[in-house]
Amino acid sequence: MLSAVLPDRLPWYLAGPALGLLVVGFFLFTNQPLGATGAYVETAKTVRRLPGAVTWRAFYFVGIALGGLLAVLLKDDGFVRRKGYDVLLDPMDMNLSLPVASVVIFVGAVVMGYGARMAGGCTSGHGICGTAQRSPASWAATVSFMAAAVITTFFVNQI
């Protein structure tokens, strides 16, 4: 077994700089930020065979999932088929029914996608790559989404 090569959670002081080096490396190869929003958009276009689709974004999109699977397989728990979203479903926690939790997740994801496209990036694109380029637009977007997310979570936790 490959299990337990990785700890359950790689500490931030290793994962953070590793991510930073990936961002710099990606810029040095492609002159592009290591974001995720654009990858969704171009993957949708590639799948629909629309003209102008940036095909290599689809490869990158698939790569993110593959890399995630690889890391999970190197942990003790490994790949576990489950529903996910334990905090929402757990009777000891928020105790939402599956349909209600599904609606919350779906609505949240739609709002998130719409907002990311409007803002021109997401947590990786603006939050790391844009801020690292010293972009005022990215710093503003990052402060805005961090504040909105913390405030929203505060209200979610009151329920």
Partner 1 sequence: MNTSTAHKVIGLLFGIGFGFVLAAANLHEYSTIHNMLSLEEFDVFLLMGGAIGVSLPLLWLLERAKAKTVLAGPLTLSRSPVKRENVVGGALFGIGWALSGTCPAPALVMLASGAGLAVITIAGLFVGLGLRDAQTSRAAGTVITGDGEHRDVVASR
Residues 93-132 contacting partner 1, CB under 8 A:
101-102, 104-132
Under rule CB under 8 A, residue 2 binds partner 1: no
Examine residue 158 and tell whether it contacts partner 1 (CB under 8 A): no
| Complete DSSP assignment for 22-51 | HHHHHHHHHSS---SHHHHHHHHHHHTT-T
Tokens encoding 35: 């974001």
Residue from 71, 76, 95, 97 binding partner 1 (CB under 8 A) = 71
Sign of CA dihedral 154, 149, 20, 124: positive
CB of 33 to partner 1, least distance (A): 6
- Count of residues that bind partner 1 according to CB under 8 A: 120
159 binds partner 1 per the rule CB under 8 A? no
DSSP 94: T
Contact status: 76 vs partner 1 (CB under 8 A): no
- Residue 2 Cβ vs partner 1, minimum distance, rounded to whole Å: 13
Exposed, middle or buried, 38 (CB in 10 Å: 0-12/13-18/19+)?
buried
User: Should residue 50 be labelled a site residue for partner 1 when binding is judged by CB under 8 A?
Assistant: no
Contact call for residue 3 and partner 1 (CB under 8 A): no
Q: Burial, 89: exposed, middle or buried (Cβ in 10 Å; 0-12, 13-18, 19+)? A: middle
Which residue, 2 or 101, is less far from partner 1 as judged by CB? 101
Pick from 2, 4, 100, 147 the residue near partner 1 by CB under 8 A: 147
> Could you say which of 2, 20, 95, 100 contacts partner 1 (CB under 8 A)?
20
